[in-house]
Structure 1
Amino acid sequence: MPIAFSCDLHASGAEFAHFWEHTVGSGHATLALRADWQQQLSLAHAELGFRHVRFHGILDDDMGTMIDQNDQPLYSFFNTDQIFDFLVSIGMRPFVELSFMPSMLASTDQTIFRYRANVSPPKDYELWATLIKKIVGHWVDRYGIAEVREWFFEVWNEPNLNAFGDAKQDEYFKLYSKTAAAIKSVDRDLKVGGPATAANAWIEDTIQFSIENGQPLDFISTHHYPTDSFGKPGDDTVTQLAMSTRSALRDEAQTARKQAGDRPLYYTEWCTSSNPRDHMHDEPYAAAFIAKTVMEARGLVQGYSYWTFSDIFEENYFPSIPFHGGFGLMNIHGIPKPAYRAFELLHALGNEILEVVGEHDTVDIWVTRASSSITVLISNFALPQHPIGDEEVHLTMRGPNLAKDASVRVIDATRCNPRAHWEELGSPEYLSGEIVERLKQTSRLREESLKVSNASGTIDLAIVVKPYSVTAINIVF
């Protein structure tokens, strides 16, 4: 049975900011020194509109930011300059995660990830504050105060997890206080925030601490994934997702929005799942999830940083398999996945959103408007092990103008799905340049003409949408 939706193009819409383009995630600071990382980020900035990038480890030993030289601190900001010079050169900015602990300051030998980042609190908080003041002051000197005031300084990463320290709130608040004071001593208008927690934690506690202790808190940051707290210990990713709810991230963001009050709210990590080897990251499932999740977060957040833009990523190990279920929007060869193409469709949306009437268990529709066109975005999404199938969608739109032209672009199992074509080739571990280019072409969005019924001030659209698909219909007036 066809699914009926309607939209009144005569009506005024609401402002629709592209909040998801504020920031995108990456893995580890030293990766940003690689030429292929820089090429991929340049493409993501140009085609998807991302304006900031966030990554771990700007203070790690492998960046050489602070090392022990004959029992004295030796500071070197050359590598950070190489990264930030590049970002500024392509029109981007850093969302600076201040992590992790230089060995010289480490109070224990606790580390995380393959690159062994130390996650202990500083053994000397005054020396930590000196490091922060020196490096932030250096960036102000190099890039100018007007530029650095547009950056964001986030204190640590997921301090509520034992993996990133002792998970003690009072210890984090001490670190936050010292860090914020050091940043504000450089310039009071620099933006500092946190708590950068996993699973939406500590938001109200951080605000209360800030108020009671007179600490600056310019924004709230946190993370969430649809696999958080669903299922039971030992469950695989599919089971965790099956136990989730279809709009879990929207519901969590609504709660976080209320907790944050008037403070800007930035989700600095979210993804299809928290599994770094999840085949669904590579598949159309991710595209449908992204489209729905982003559109449901409108009006709730100021930034929504997808984790991550690239599979050039080494928290576990650096892979050689082209499609290994990594977090990235692009694989290690820079081949865009369906998830990348979902962000490409989102980037093309207008800046005004109109009300759509109608609902369905798996199909969602949004209509955005630009100066002389509208875009209809359709996702067909269900969680794993939940029912989903082909759906015939009918959309009726009343409007003052006749449509001059209509076109459609689709992401589904047979379109924009390079992993499927790689599997058809026998899933080779190492790719020739020719195959890489062929898979890049396979990944591209294709624009096709679409016939619409257009009479008596009404536009009628009828289209069949496949499971785990994203469809964008552009109508020009």
Structure 2
Amino acid sequence: MPDFSCRLSETTTPLTHFWEHTVGSDHAPVALRADWQAQLRRCHEDLGFRYVRFHGLLSDDMGTLIDHDGKPLYSFFNADQVVDFLLSVGMRPFVELSFMPEALASGYKTVFHYKGNITPPKDYKQWATLMNRLARHWVERYGVEEVREWFFEVWNEPNLPAFWKGTQADYFKLYRHTVEAIKSVDPALKVGGPATAKNEWIEEFLEFCEKKKLPVDFVSTHHYPTDALGNEGDDTETQLATSRRAVLREQAQDTFRRARGKPVFYTEWNASSNPRDARHDEPYAAAFVAKTILEANGLVEGYSFWTFTDIFEENYFPSVPFHGGFGLLTLHGVPKPAYRAFELLHRLGTEQLLVDGIHETVSVWAVRQETSVTVLATNHALPRHSIKGETVDVRISEAREPRHVHVERIDEAHANPQRAWREMGAPEYLSALQLEHLHAVSRMAREPLPWKYDNGVVHVEIEVPPHAVAAITVVFA
């Protein structure tokens, strides 16, 4: 039986809720949709997300810069509409500066069905002019104190040919022109990079900036436990099976060491990079999310999950309610198990206790608040690795007698709307009654949990199925 214990009198470690700093989305035009906005508002209110990051702010479908009768035509109207909405709900943009406007592009290579141009600028000075005008416009519109709270990230995954047709040197040149243009508006505006996949280019990027005396306000990169850029037909199960259970923690530790004291922001991560991975809709993702986040405490300033919604059209716009999309919410706004994991994490306090105990698949954390402590347990293993249901024994010592103890669960039988959808026959288009039922079964329930108290020790036992999360809250008198 897995056995874990903690002492309430122990010195705690700060739990900063770094995972709530930013969340990811698709590309800028979807941020103009009413359903996207409604879902983001809900995520902000329920899960605490403060910034949102998306591709394509500079692409032609946003109209930011186009060639009109042989002359550059700037229009920040659509970008402003997105920012206005974010500020109206208490959020801010984590600005990814991509992709290349056709008017500035040196070639015609594009990515995704919406054809984001991935070529370097034909004239870096014209690119710098765009950066300067955009930053200046936002400072004039929203005020310098507000825009100083934003983050400007230069490009997306320039180390992958799918996103950047230039060289590493070309990207560094892009960064130099970008940071100089934005900082010329106000030196306190925050600019960073290299926004790479697979934790790459960090040393080279920082060495370049040091050599050229360029400011770097933060280091950003991405990671997944699978290939960096997933495809619908990938053998994701094999990729995950040959990965390591704590690989993202190991990578975050390495990035933290290589960042030379700069704040580290992971601006993309998920259980896999496959945009059609059924595990994204299953309790597997909830266990992966909770475990991965809590293992990253103290290593990163921000940990931006990719993505908050399945309103997402990189390859095509889907219609199947559960199609393995990246999102925490389905197309219809039904919370997936991973959403509920973020909900449990949001409710945690900020004082993490040291927990003694180790197990092959079960991990346990304890977080203290003024009148309670929450013990969060996950039972997780990668595909094709051994896992079974476990009876987990938890002891909390140096504690007062509890007033009550309850548990909230995410597993095959709890907060799992995909299962209910399959039992309906997996309809592609939902009726209003079917949608109402899926919302109902997606909810977590608080159930009383038996406990014992003896000589200052609270003792509970709980069954944790495979690929599950259980949050035990002990409330003291």
Q: 2:228 touches 2:273 (CA, 8 Å); kept in 1? A: no
Query: Which residue in the other structure is 1:423 paired with?
Result: 422
1:365 aligned counterpart, secondary structure: strand
Query: Does residue 164 of structure 2 align to residue 171 of structure 1?
Result: no
Query: Does residue 314 of structure 2 align to residue 296 of structure 1?
Result: no
Q: 1:110 touches 1:165 (CA, 8 Å); kept in 2? A: no
Q: Output the CA distance in 2 between the equivalents of 1:349 and 1:112.
A: 39
Q: Output the CA distance in 2 between the equivalents of 1:396 and 1:78.
A: 57
Q: Output the CA distance in 2 between the equivalents of 1:167 and 1:435.
A: 49
Q: Output the CA distance in 2 between the equivalents of 1:229 and 1:211.
A: 28
Alignment of 1:201-220 (within 5 A): 201-220=200-219
Q: 1:137 touches 1:186 (CA, 8 Å); kept in 2? A: yes
The one-character-per-residue Cα deviations of 1:109-166 (angstroms, maximum 9, x if unpaired) are 0000000010100111111111111111111111111111000000000000101122
Alignment of 1:109-188 (within 5 A): 109-166=108-165, 168-188=167-187
2:170 aligned counterpart, secondary structure: helix
Paired amino acid for 2:118: V
1:163 aligned counterpart, secondary structure: coil
Q: 1:288 touches 1:380 (CA, 8 Å); kept in 2? A: yes
Deviation at 1:400, TM superposition (A): 3.6
Query: Which residue in the other structure is 1:68 paired with?
Result: 67
Q: Output the CA distance in 1 between the equivalents of 2:449 and 2:437.
A: 27
2:303 aligned counterpart, secondary structure: strand
* Structure 2 unaligned blocks of 5 or more: none
Q: Output the CA distance in 2 between the equivalents of 1:246 and 1:157.
A: 26
Deviation at 1:229, TM superposition (A): 7.5
Paired amino acid for 2:15: F
Deviation at 1:235, TM superposition (A): 6.1
Query: Which residue in the other structure is 1:85 paired with?
Result: 84
2:103 aligned counterpart, secondary structure: helix
Deviation at 1:11, TM superposition (A): 1.3
Q: 1:125 touches 1:178 (CA, 8 Å); kept in 2? A: yes
Paired amino acid for 2:447: E
Q: Output the CA distance in 1 between the equivalents of 2:28 and 2:432.
A: 27
Deviation at 1:228, TM superposition (A): 3.1
The one-character-per-residue Cα deviations of 1:400-438 (angstroms, maximum 9, x if unpaired) are 411111111000001111011001000000011221121
Q: 2:229 touches 2:273 (CA, 8 Å); kept in 1? A: no
Answer with 93-102 or 446-455: which moved more.
446-455
CA RMSD of aligned residues (A): 1.2
2:49 aligned counterpart, secondary structure: coil
Alignment of 1:250-399 (within 5 A): 250-399=249-398
Number of corresponding residues: 474
Q: 1:230 touches 1:243 (CA, 8 Å); kept in 2? A: no
Q: 1:160 touches 1:167 (CA, 8 Å); kept in 2? A: no
Paired amino acid for 1:202: W
Q: 1:402 touches 1:454 (CA, 8 Å); kept in 2? A: yes
Superposition misfits of 4+ residues, deviation over 6 angstroms: none
With over 3 angstroms needed to count, the CA separation of the structure-2 counterparts of 1:145 and 1:202, relative to structure 1, is same
1:459 aligned counterpart, secondary structure: strand
Q: 1:250 touches 1:297 (CA, 8 Å); kept in 2? A: yes
Alignment of 1:448-463 (within 5 A): 448-463=447-462
Paired amino acid for 2:242: M
TM superposition score normalised by structure 1: 0.98
The one-character-per-residue Cα deviations of 1:211-255 (angstroms, maximum 9, x if unpaired) are 000111110000000003899xx9600000000000000000010
Paired amino acid for 1:211: E
Q: 2:36 touches 2:311 (CA, 8 Å); kept in 1? A: yes
With over 3 angstroms needed to count, the CA separation of the structure-2 counterparts of 1:472 and 1:52, relative to structure 1, is same
Q: Provide the identity percentage.
A: 58
Q: Output the CA distance in 1 between the equivalents of 2:431 and 2:29.
A: 26
2:249 aligned counterpart, secondary structure: helix
Paired amino acid for 1:334: G
Q: Output the CA distance in 2 between the equivalents of 1:128 and 1:58.
A: 14
Q: Output the CA distance in 2 between the equivalents of 1:25 and 1:229.
A: 16
Q: 1:230 touches 1:240 (CA, 8 Å); kept in 2? A: no
Q: Output the CA distance in 2 between the equivalents of 1:229 and 1:78.
A: 33
Query: Which residue in the other structure is 1:471 paired with?
Result: 470
Q: Output the CA distance in 1 between the equivalents of 2:243 and 2:249.
A: 12
TM superposition score normalised by structure 2: 0.98
Q: Output the CA distance in 2 between the equivalents of 1:398 and 1:434.
A: 48
1:377 aligned counterpart, secondary structure: strand
1:222 aligned counterpart, secondary structure: strand
Q: Output the CA distance in 2 between the equivalents of 1:230 and 1:383.
A: 19
Query: Which residue in the other structure is 1:199 paired with?
Result: 198
Q: Output the CA distance in 2 between the equivalents of 1:147 and 1:377.
A: 36
Q: Output the CA distance in 2 between the equivalents of 1:257 and 1:175.
A: 24
Q: 2:63 touches 2:78 (CA, 8 Å); kept in 1? A: yes
Q: 2:197 touches 2:228 (CA, 8 Å); kept in 1? A: no
Q: 2:399 touches 2:458 (CA, 8 Å); kept in 1? A: no
Deviation at 1:371, TM superposition (A): 1.1
* Structure 1 unaligned blocks of 5 or more: none
Paired amino acid for 2:438: L
Query: Does residue 93 of structure 2 align to residue 94 of structure 1?
Result: yes
Deviation at 1:475, TM superposition (A): 0.9
The one-character-per-residue Cα deviations of 1:318-362 (angstroms, maximum 9, x if unpaired) are 000000000000010000000100000110111000010000000
Query: Which residue in the other structure is 2:402 paired with?
Result: 403
